[in-house]
Amino acid sequence: MDQRLNGKRAFVTGGSRGIGAAIVTRLAKEGASVAFTYASSPARAEAVAQTVREAGREALAIQADSADAAVLTAAVDQAAAKFGGIDILVNNAGIAAMAPVDQFKLEEFDRTFAINVRAVFVASQAALKHMKEGGRIINICSTNAERMPFAGGSVYAMSKSALVGLVKGMARDLGPRGITVNNIQPGPVNTDMNPENGEFAKTLLGLMAIPHYAHVNEIAGMAAYLATDEAKSVTGASLMIDGGFSA
């Protein structure tokens, strides 16, 4: 694989499983040293860190709750201290609580907003202290930011659509520094949270133009592209990779 990110330093939230783990591995294979956060499984995090080391790059796994602004900021600062800065931030951590709006618990609303929206702002603000010209901020958003075709997803969709506005504004703020800011908006992806043979799969496949779940490596590939110099003119964008779910 081309070393398009040779010498770059990346920080990924929620990097021990699913899409996040695939992104950590892909960035390392393209030449980046990678720090990432995880919530609750040191063994799983260490396995991902080992894939980074096997690619010949430095790894740092940090246990951190993205809902805690102080903890998340400290994790970013720890990574920057170890690597000497941060060039790439991937805001991947997220949750998907589902319930009809008249039954949705306020504490679940607050936690969804804290992780899916506020943590993106917190991590970005923290990383920018350590990011030079040409940096990259990449958010893992969702196709549901633009289409929510089933009941129970109002709060999740709200949290993801909020990132569309945030990214547009941040792109204007950071453009003079040569820092790009973009969303990746996946549709159904085969992960343990939403397996391709799960109870919702048949419904979701019926909504897609190409009826198959994406592989996590497809999302990782788009993230890697956005992190390279080839994407230096891509900013303020929300890029779909959803099999036509939103078409």
* Type of residue found at 97: A
Which residue numbers are catalytic? 156
Give 122's pLDDT tier (boundaries 50, 70, 90).
very high
Please tell me the predicted confidence (pLDDT) of residue 1: 62
Give percent of the chain above pLDDT 70.
100
Other C-beta atoms closer than 10 Å to the C-beta of 208 total 19
Q: Is domain 9-232 classified as CATH 3.40.50.720?
A: yes
* Angle at which helices 18-29 and 42-54 cross, to 10°: 20
- What are the domain boundaries of the chain? 9-232
The CA-atom distances, in angstroms, between 172 and each of 21, 25, 201, 226, 240 are 30, 30, 38, 17, 21
Please tell me the predicted confidence (pLDDT) of residue 238: 98
Residue 234 pLDDT greater than 80, yes or no: yes
* Total-model pTM: 0.97
Convert the pLDDT of each residue in 156-196 to its tens digit.
999 999 999 999 999 999 999 999 999 999 999 999 888 99
* Residue in 120, 160, 123, 168 with CA at minimum distance from that of residue 144: 160
How far is Cα 194 from Cα 175, in angstroms, rounded to an integer?
A: 35
CB 67 within 8 A of CB 114: yes
